[in-house]
């Protein structure tokens, strides 16, 4: 299981680092989103796995709307 440490409409940073996932397709699931987020692991750093999303336009819109309404700027 991973924790999403940061997220944008283009991708996410996950903790922990999972070197064996590099290049693989992944699905990120959240109780707060209706559908999983699909993406590819594009980089693995010391403590982080980076995923670039591969979303259709409808899911890109849903994610952008979700982030805009749930963004904490404090």
Longest dimension (CA), the chain: 36
Instruction: Report the domain count for the chain.
Output: 1
More confident residue, 15 or 1: 15
Mean pLDDT of 41-45: 97
pLDDT in tens, 49-66: 999 999 999 999 999 999
Nearest by Cα to 8 from 50, 45, 36: 50
In this predicted model, which residue has the larger pLDDT, 42 or 2?
42
Which structural domain, as residue segments, surrounds residue 16? 3-70
Give the end-to-end CA distance of the chain in Å, rounded to a whole number. Answer: 28
Burial degree of 57 (CB within 10 A; 0-12, 13-18, 19+): exposed
Query: What is this structure's pTM?
Result: 0.87
CATH number of the CATH domain containing 19? 2.40.10.220
Q: Which residues face 11 on adjacent strands?
A: 52
């Amino acid at each position: 299981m991973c924790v999403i440490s940061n997220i944008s409409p283009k991708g996410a940073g996950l903790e922990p680092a999972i070197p064996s996932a590099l290049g693989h397709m992944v699905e990120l699931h959240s109780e707060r989103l209706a559908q999983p987020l699909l993406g590819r692991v594009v980089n693995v750093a010391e403590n982080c796995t980076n995923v670039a999303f591969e979303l259709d336009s409808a899911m890109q819109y849903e994610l952008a709307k979700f982030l805009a309404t749930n963004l904490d700027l404090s």
